[in-house]
Amino acid sequence: MDKGNKTILVTGGCGFIGSNLVRYLLRLRPGWTIVNLDALTYAGNPANLADMEINRRYNFIHGDICDHRRLEKLFKDYSFDGVIHLAAESHVDRSIFGPMKFVRTNVEGTCQLLAASLESWRRNGEPQDFRFLHVSTDEVFGSLGPEGFFRETTAYDPSSPYSASKAAADHFVRAWYRTYGLPTIITNCSNNYGPYQFPEKLIPLIILNAIEGKELPVYGDGGNIRDWLYVEDHCAALLKVLEAGQPGRTYNIGGGAERRNLDVVRQICKLVDRCLGRGRDQDSQCLISFVADRPGHDRRYAIDASLIRSELGWQPENNFESALEKTVKWYIANSDWVTSVRSGEYRNWIKTNYSDRG
């Protein structure tokens, strides 16, 4: 795909990664028009892109990826040069309490989007530079022991309803490539962090609780390991894959920043205390509380990103320590955004997830 005038459909553009991606694409590709299709679930917030609303190259469409008719009309209204598919139910804990929503959005929604893309691709004469980029997760590979890395060839072994639904979606994306020739690509990325992440996920939850002097819940023994990637580095990787990745391929994306959860939580405490000018007697680490573990909790994720590095020349530009500090400062500076996303639904979720953890 060349860098000229393009019209790209982004699904889930009002969520955490989607909103960072839309902003990134509009900045890096001045000739592109971005259409953002988002159902605005609890995790989708148009305020995440409020500053983009006056941009003529940005169009927001309120709609559900499971709505076949809506998709048909959308693909007729616009002749898309590519699709970047992020819309999903994305929170593992929520998938444990209510898996069916994950099946609907992540599996059925992805298939509806594939079907609509195929129909439109055929109508347009099967352009070979069309791309369907499916944004998936490293969680499809299951859990690692203390050694080793997830490679593109690692067998799928998902543990949670969330990761099982993403794994199923990946299989369908591959099937649409092999069966119908639709030029699809899959990326499997590790844990992201950065601005606009909904505060149910570990890093924003801990930042906000530390600011507010609330308990900092650490699941199990805190020894689970994640490979952290700053969200803008993920966006840069997605753009590279969209423009230069090979159809039918999978690319793993990771930060090369493996950290134990407990160490991440401690580091956030130090940063919050320093940014707020707190004294030693106000150490947030005393708020850390070990709570009941997540059922089926994967122990360790770690990505081998050598394929995307060697083939497409991508590597993360941000290191974990400085990007975590940027993130802490963003949450401190954006308390209005925090207030706006903490609806009644959010408060119910906190009660549901944490009340029985002890």
Q: Is 89 a catalytic residue?
A: no
**Binding letters toward ligand NAD, positions 117-136, x by CB under 6 A:** ------------------x-
Q: How many residues does the chain have?
A: 358
Helix (H, G, I), strand (E, B) or coil at 127: coil
DSSP 210: H
**Binding letters toward ligand NAD, positions 3-42, x by CB under 6 A:** --------xx-xxxxx-------------------xxxx-
253 binds ligand DAU (CB under 6 A): no
**Strands 6-11 and 32-38, sheet pairing:** parallel
Cβ-proximal residues to 118 (8 Å cutoff; 6+ apart), any chain: 176, 180, 182
DSSP 202: H
90 binds ligand DAU (CB under 6 A): yes
Of positions 167, 218, 235, 324, contacts ligand DAU by CB under 6 A: 218
**Binding letters toward ligand DAU, positions 134-153, x by CB under 6 A:** ---xxx--------------
| Cβ contacts of 139-146, under 8 Å, gap ≥ 24 | 139/92, 139/163, 139/166, 139/298, 139/301, 140/166, 140/167, 140/170, 140/188, 141/188, 141/301, 142/298, 143/298, 143/299, 143/300, 143/301, 144/299, 144/300, 144/301, 144/302, 145/299, 145/300, 146/300
Cβ-proximal residues to 77 (8 Å cutoff; 6+ apart), any chain: none
Closest distance to ligand NAD from the beta carbon of 66 (Å): 5
> Between the CA of residue 17 and those of 87, 119, 217, 263, what are the distances in Å?
10, 27, 24, 24
261 binds ligand DAU (CB under 6 A): yes
Torsions phi, psi for 194 (to 5 deg): 145, -170
Beta-strand (E) ranges in 74-224? Answer: 82-85, 131-137, 184-189, 192-193, 216-219
Closest distance to ligand NAD from the beta carbon of 277 (Å): 31
Closest distance to ligand DAU from the beta carbon of 319 (Å): 19
Q: Which does 15 bind (CB under 5 to 8 A by kind): ligand DAU, ligand NAD, none?
A: ligand NAD
* Of residues 183 and 199, the one with the C-beta less far from ligand DAU: 199
**Binding letters toward ligand NAD, positions 45-84, x by CB under 6 A:** -------------------xxx------------------
Closest distance to ligand NAD from the beta carbon of 77 (Å): 17
Structure tokens at 57: 């190259």
Give residues 153-212 in contact with ligand NAD (rule: CB under 6 A): 166, 189, 191-192, 198
Closest distance to ligand NAD from the beta carbon of 61 (Å): 10
136, β-bridge pairs: 188
Give residues 157-196 in contact with ligand DAU (rule: CB under 6 A): 190-191
Closest distance to ligand DAU from the beta carbon of 19 (Å): 15
Q: Is the sign of the CA dihedral 345, 349, 355, 356 positive or negative?
A: positive
Q: Which does 33 bind (CB under 5 to 8 A by kind): ligand DAU, ligand NAD, none?
A: none
33 binds ligand DAU (CB under 6 A): no
Of these residues, 138, 170, 200, 233, which one is catalytic? 138
Q: Is 138 a catalytic residue?
A: yes
Enzyme catalytic residues: 138-139, 162
Positions that interact with ligand NAD (CB under 6 A): 11-12, 14-18, 38-41, 43-44, 64-66, 86-88, 90, 105, 109, 135, 137, 166, 189, 191-192, 198
Residues that bind ligand DAU (CB under 6 A): 90-92, 137-139, 190-191, 201-202, 205, 217-219, 224, 226, 261, 294, 301
